[in-house]
Structure 1
Amino acid sequence: MIRILSLLMLVFSSTALSQTLLVLGDSLSAGYQMPAEKSWPALLPPLLEQQKQPTTIVNASISGDTSGNGLARLPVLLEQHKPDFVLIELGANDGLRGFHPKILRNNLSQMINEIQKVGSQPLLMQIEVPPNYGKRYNELFRNTYPSLSKDTNVPLLPFFLIDIIVKPELMMKDGLHPTAQAQPLIAQFMAKHLQPYLNKESSQ
């Protein structure tokens, strides 16, 4: 009887710990020009397992997506996967196309609202763009993320290329996308910065 109870407790414990993280991103998370299994989201589960945070990762990232594209796709993804957490990694293509930061903020804000409405926890990633559009645009773009994070009380994770982009050997020739060799480093970075948030108790 004790063995049966112990087994049931183990099964219940494993089930209770089960959670899903939806990654809603662009080419930076989609595994640009590489097999999907080499992208950082695919490498993340074993690292989270080591942190005693077993998590199913659903990588819904599409190369070229803007924040508007992500907003349009989000309702179906939430309905289909019912994630506990949603990491929003979008905005790079908005910046590269010179979209006004107000458009970006509005789209991100709507995504956060949609995610919270279904009882999931949104997580926002800081995005940086090349300095092509000048200091003023870059500052407006960059400040969109901490400002929105503060106003919505949503966690802001640091840009995962912050230490990668300064190493040419880890970046593709376009200077925008990380190589396959960079993906394990990004996965380690993300596991570290997701750790404070990936448990159901803190998200409720």
Structure 2
Amino acid sequence: MKSSTLKPYSVPLLLCQLSLLLLSACGPSASTNDSANRPGASAEDASTSGKPLTGPQSPEAADTLILALGDSLYAGYNLDRGEGFPEELQNALVADGMNVFVVNAGVSGDTSAAGRQRLDYALEGLPRNPDLVVLGLGGNDMLRGIEPEQTRANLDAMLKTLSDRKIKVVLTGMLAAPNLGPEYADAFNPIFPDLAKQYDAALYPFFLDGVVTDSELMLEDGIHPNAEGVDLVVEKIAPVVTGALAE
């Protein structure tokens, strides 16, 4: 199992930013600007402005197929077309010489339970099994105070499904906001490294590492990354994805 090492950050600022997460869930409803590169989506689902998608324009045209399954942090919340995490991840991987298509299966407001319910649908909507699933859910569970045991059970079930299908996984983690208290954090934070180890999945410990502490990389809501923030997230996660595919 490979993991990414988080660089030191300003703890007080990080705690302050994470506290703000309690004021609002990660996109309680889908934004009209959520990226549209997802199963069953059409070009009308997102703004026509923004950055073009490089490389294959459909799953069928790609040698490597990746499914990015997550919440608003994946969906491209309030970003222009092509600026969301899945699209920028594809652009970065294509720039590295890969013929890859990344399907955006991010849905704003999704909990781990909702993701678990639609996992089979997302997989069945693809022309074939993906070579890799980048999985990022659980943030909304934390924001809503859902018991960590439920989050763990849902992610466990999803990872088991992917393991049974012999699909590689990169798990992107989340940290509990400090306002929830140390007991909640002690139960929630280990979910991601524990499950990554159990299922031999690659782990990126904290999706917003190096971004949430910099207001210039965040939208005005203080919760979601802006286009520049997404670029930094992709810069740090892309090598983890490349490593997972190479195993």
* TM-score (norm: length of structure 1): 0.84
Q: Does the 8 Å CA contact 1:51/1:195 hold for their aligned counterparts?
A: no
DSSP 3-state at the match of 2:106: coil
Amino acid aligned to 1:157: Y
Q: Does the 8 Å CA contact 2:64/2:101 hold for their aligned counterparts?
A: yes
Moved more, 172-181 or 58-67: 172-181
Q: CA RMSD in A?
A: 1.7
Detail structure 1 runs of 4+ shifted over 6 Å in the superposition. none
> 1:130 aligns to what?
177
> 2:93 aligns to what?
48
Shift of 1:144: 1.0
Gaps of 5+ in 1: 1-14
> 1:20 aligns to what?
65
Q: Does the 8 Å CA contact 2:170/2:240 hold for their aligned counterparts?
A: no
Moved more, 170-179 or 90-99: 170-179
Q: Does the 8 Å CA contact 2:211/2:218 hold for their aligned counterparts?
A: yes
> 1:71 aligns to what?
116
Which of 1 and 2 has greater Rg? Answer: 1
Matches within 5 A, 1:42-121: 42-81=87-126, 82-121=129-168
Amino acid aligned to 1:22: L
Higher helix residue share = 1
Query: Residue deviations 1:115-162, cap 9 Å, x none?
Result: 122231122111123212012211211111111122222221232311
Moved more, 179-188 or 72-81: 179-188
Shift of 1:58: 0.3
In 1, distance between residues paired with 2:151 and 2:117? 13
In 1, distance between residues paired with 2:98 and 2:213? 30
Moved more, 21-30 or 153-162: 153-162
Q: Does the 8 Å CA contact 2:176/2:184 hold for their aligned counterparts?
A: no
Moved more, 19-28 or 32-41: 32-41
Shift of 1:52: 3.2
> 1:143 aligns to what?
190
Q: How many correspondences in the alignment?
A: 185
Amino acid aligned to 1:173: E
Q: Does the 8 Å CA contact 2:175/2:189 hold for their aligned counterparts?
A: yes
